[in-house]
Structure 1
Amino acid sequence: MRPTHLLLVLWLCLLAGVAPAEERLRLVATTGMIGDAVTLIGGDRVEVQTLMGPGVDPHLYRQTRRDIVALTRADAVFWHGLALELQLQEFLDRLSGHTPVYAVGEAVPEEARLPAGDFAGQFDPHVWMDPDRWRYVAEAIRDALSELHPAGRDAFAARTDAYLAELEALDAYAREVLGSLPEGQRLLVTAHDAFGYLGEAYDLEVVGIQGISTESEAGLARIEALVRLLVERRVPAIFVESSVAERNVRALVEGAGAQGWAVAIGGTLFSDAMGTPGSYEGTYLGMLDHNLTTIARALGGQAPPGGRLGRLAETRP
């Protein structure tokens, strides 16, 4: 490009309030939830590459050669922490010696975290299941971007405020639709223990077939105990997850059926990964809208088929 043309492009970008590509921060996020938040808060001042797409389990994820190239070339890396991306942690610890690395999930105060079962000093990493806790992550991203790009501080603050308003609206929707569940149907059974924060925030009893991490396997005794629970409590539906194999959920359905109780699969929930990129369910807000709407409708509550904004592609009738 000739110098005069380059100056013209730069002037037009400034006039339009759009950062030229060479001035944008090249960022890498580990999970889709973090990548979505960094993109929304960063706006045109960032270019974000997300390592883990739909259906990917962050508990088991290991970096590829392509990931290593992206991570080492990035201006900064945003990851969750709280032992979610356990297989990446050693590499990211080394990377932090020369590249800014932000564990934004750890911005949630310890007093607002749930314990990870019986593991002393460890916490349930699935904080994104509660929009109110997720605001700490959004604010941490805002502060990190402001540190990396001081000229964008005001824009990051304004975009964060708008995002926090959406989180508040999502929280209100959650209270409405989950509050409509019949008293005897407030039991959520899922493939693994990823919904503890949702249960704590909205007064649901939550049971995961596997533990906090999908590395743990459910034994026969666990399956038998859960079958008894489904039959005794007359649970109408249980749920599979987009990033966890269905076999344990199917085993519960078959076991309950053998004891004379027909339990349905109420739908697929997004737990550790979001939906298809470019779709509403491929955003954090859409992911949770889908989960809340699917849970409410499957367990006997009241929720519009299209969700909070009427944008859901598919929900249980």
Structure 2
Amino acid sequence: MKKIMSGLLVLLVMANCKTEPKNSNGKLNIVTTTTMITDLVENIGGDKVNIQGLMGSGVDPHLYKASAGDVTKLSNADLIFYGGLHLEGKLVEVFEKMESQNLKTVAVSDALDKSTLIGSEYFASNYDPHIWFDVNNWENITKFVVEKLSMADPENKEFYMENGEQYLKKLENLNTDIKSIIEGLPKEKRVLVTAHDAFSYFGKAYDFEVVGLQGLSTATEAGVQDVQKISAFIIERKIKAIFVESSVPKRTIEALQASVNSKGHHVEIGGTLYSDALGNAGTFEGTYIGMFKYNVKTIVGALQ
């Protein structure tokens, strides 16, 4: 595996040593990693940029490995946007090498003050990378992306700024809608149990107690003791529903449900939440705003 990774790094560095512009139609060639970032850059960049997203719906960024095709996309990019904070765990070495070569990589997490990040002693970066689950974070990241696009393509700065302002208004409306929906759920019922610990920013921003069966990264498997511990928690708190995630195998949540039910407390699987990836392209859930509304309605509806 190390030899393969070294080969990818060499290809990236060699390809990016070219001095000629990579864009063939006057537009920036942009590569993004997760679907959330792809959606954001599409909203701001519009028809002034060419965007290629590495990851699609249902793809787990924690476990994603670069393919030969990805190397080509990355090497031909004028600008690369990725999550950072070790979200794309198996691509970290690639991005760090590119950064050391002064290539144009942008970690959107750099938009945030580290004092606002949620730390974890169990995760390699010491910060929770699921920053998009607080709309306030996404607003700051929107401004950051506008700035980076404007610096890379100053001729279209006004276009990016205008699109950014329009999208910020949509995010403001989204935040208002989310809070309105959540207000209908009594505080004692705001306990969210999911497959892995992806919703801590959501919990902090919208007053939910959040429990993940797995850790911050899906590379960490849940054990029998984890299942038993959370099973006891669900029974004690009389929680009505738990949730699977679109990018995480549902077997661990099904095992948790079976454990709870075997002890005489019935718990439902309240639905599938989008955590590390958006829904299918072209659907309501395939956008950041649609995903967030869908998640909140699913959570509140199941816990009522």
Deviation of 1:118 (Å): 4.7
Contact kept, 8 Å, 1:117 with 1:212, in 2: the verdict is no
Shift of 1:120: 8.5
Q: Does the 8 A contact of 2:85 with 2:125 survive in 1?
A: no
Report how far residue 117 of structure 1 moved. 4.2
From 72, 86, 91, the counterpart of 2:89: 86
Instruction: Report the Cα distance in structure 2 between the residues aligned to 1:82 and 1:195, rounded to whole angstroms.
Output: 15
Which structure 1 residue ranges, 5 or more long, are not aligned?
1-19, 301-317
The question of 1:248 aligning with 2:252 is answered: yes
Change (3 A) 1:99 1:165: same
Overall identity of the aligned pairs, in %: 42
1:159 equivalent in alignment to 2:163:
yes
Kindly indicate whether residue 280 of structure 2 is the aligned counterpart of residue 299 of structure 1: no
Structure-2-length-normalised TM-score: 0.89
Corresponding position: 1:53 with 2:61: no
| Counterpart residue number, 1:37 | 40
- Where structure 2 has 5 or more consecutive residues not aligned to the other structure, the ranges are 1-22
Which residue does the alignment assign to 1:130?
A: 134
- Equivalence map 1:202-281=2 (5 Å): 202-281=206-285
Whole-Å separation in 1 of the counterparts to 2:36 and 2:145: 12
Distance 1:288 1:119 in 2: 25
| SS state at 1:173 partner | helix
- The one-letter amino acid paired with 1:82 is L
- Paired position in structure 2 for 1:113: 117
Q: Could you tell me how far apart the structure 2 residues matched to 1:252 and 1:184 are?
A: 21
Residues 85 and 120 of structure 1: is their aligned pair in 2 closer, same or farther, counting only changes over 3 Å? closer
The answer to whether residue 64 in structure 2 is matched with residue 69 in structure 1 is no
Could you tell me which amino acid in structure 1 is paired with residue 282 of structure 2? G
Letter in 2 for 1:297: G
Q: How many residues align?
A: 281
- Number of the residue aligned with 1:22: 25
SS of 1:56's partner is coil
Equivalent position of 2:148 in the other structure? 144
Q: In the superposition, relative to structure 1, how do residues 120 and 249 fare at CA in structure 2: closer, same or farther (>3 Å)? A: closer
Distance 2:40 2:73 in 1: 19
1:216-256 deviations in whole A, cap 9, x for unaligned? 11111111011111111111100000000111100111111
User: Aligned-pair RMSD on alpha carbons?
Assistant: 1.5
Contact 1:54 1:274 (8 Å CA) reproduced: yes
